[in-house]
Structure 1
């Protein structure tokens, strides 16, 4: 595979992965815990916190999407965003150990946070190094 083809593939995979925080985060901001089929949360502070975290999740999706056009040159930003996602996955791991196994949607998030995102971080870094040292692209 040429570097140009790999670049397009990496861009497409990252763009596709961005759909998760953009759709889930956006819907969670708008609907609160109701998005997950839960009734309104009492006390209201928990609903507020849920929507706040959802807003951060949505913003992380936007920030990852901003890496797509120049995926080869956004390594520091990409890794910082990835570290935020991995930290969230580790926090989810604490919940899993203390409270129990969450629903399938949350298990999907867990797999993205501690599986897919670290693999994308490694791929982006490897690709960026090869892109930077390639004689022609």
Structure 2
């Protein structure tokens, strides 16, 4: 592996590690905090937060062999983008654009696809 490729790999690994903090922290928060609803709705919110946590952990699991995890990263990215598109539909249906929603959309439709693109370029360098 060339020095430039090694540096690119380390930079991608660091970026994935930092970006993964968002879904892991948000997922843990959602699991552990009261969600302000009762019964099955609260339980469903905790389940969805657990999925978010799992997505973040799965992205983190790709870090050690980042240059070989193209399919893994693409599948996770597709899941995140679909979620972001659904969040966008919610906005079209009248959901408020809160700062937390805007931040999530930036991660889901911006940062995650860019990281996926970067990983693909890294993988193609071999």
Q: How many residues align?
A: 124
Secondary structure of 2:33's aligned partner: helix
Shift of 1:84: 0.5
TM-score, normalised to structure 2, is 0.94
Shift of 1:46: 1.4
Aligned counterparts, 1:30-69, within 5 A: 30-33=32-35, 40-42=36-38, 44-69=39-64
Indicate the RMSD between aligned Cα atoms, in angstroms: 1.2
Shift of 1:102: 2.8
Q: Give the distance between the partners of 1:32 and 1:117, measured in 2 at CA.
A: 28
1:112 corresponds to: 107
Q: Give the distance between the partners of 2:117 and 2:66, measured in 1 at CA.
A: 13
Secondary structure of 1:100's aligned partner: coil
Q: Detail structure 1 runs of 4+ shifted over 6 Å in the superposition.
A: none
2:14 corresponds to: 12
Shift of 1:54: 0.3
Q: Which has the larger radius of gyration?
A: 1
Structure 2 regions of 5+ residues with no counterpart? Answer: none
1:36 corresponds to: none
Shift of 1:70: 0.5
Q: Give the distance between the partners of 1:46 and 1:103, measured in 2 at CA.
A: 21
Structure 1 regions of 5+ residues with no counterpart? Answer: 34-39, 133-137
TM-score, normalised to structure 1, is 0.87
